[in-house]
Structure 1
């Protein structure tokens, strides 16, 4: 029976100040996420990748890293540490690559939480005489988000990415 293998975007565990953290996977198997393995690079999620870190290697006061319920708080603390972040961010080998911040275009709040409320896709599964063929292109055509600071909904394309003042 023929089959096709295609790339799946890794699960986003947490987004803190506009920086997503992704799960790492054993043997790049989407159905086998690692409990303690995380990465900031969505293209390198296999556990052996250089950009994958074990959360137990970075103790944060008052949090037990062996308890997955503490992982969001530990990840936030790590992202707040400039030395740790400079080491683990995906573009750390490029000093000229600025970090970006998100600012709501309506209330101008810096790095608020944004919620995806709608997405449309140009192509769905292709229907063949053998059944549905899921396409690897699951990129949304349009995305509508809501700023949780001002509760305004707007297209994702309206969200500006700008370098923070300290990096200009």
Structure 2
């Protein structure tokens, strides 16, 4: 009698690796969605200011003497002041930048030294890759961030 497709050599793939990869894809998707929505939220303030300015232009064309024009102008000025004040507190994370540079320069020194030494020393590229990978989150330190207190 023939084995079914989920027995034998495919059993490990079905029982172990498919759920593991499914969980990994789900986790990656959740992180991506959270990152995207957070980025959209930060962008929405500028989008709202632009839409308020467009509404102001329309309101000036339709009712140039109305009190709504003055109120909308004050509201736009208030939003711009709030945004400017909020972004004035943005700073770069210099500790992360220094850590990134140290990890990457160490990784480069290890990799180049192992590569030029030849033979089995070329395996030094593995710890160099680990150091390079550990330094990747430091790239986010170059972007100015607003520290919440």
* TMscore range, shorter length: under 0.3
After TM superposition, the score normalised by the length of structure 1 is 0.19
**Higher strand proportion (structure 1 or 2):** 1
Higher Rg of the two aligned structures: 2
After TM superposition, the score normalised by the length of structure 2 is 0.21
Higher relative contact order (CA 8 A, sep 6+): 2
**Higher helix proportion (structure 1 or 2):** 2
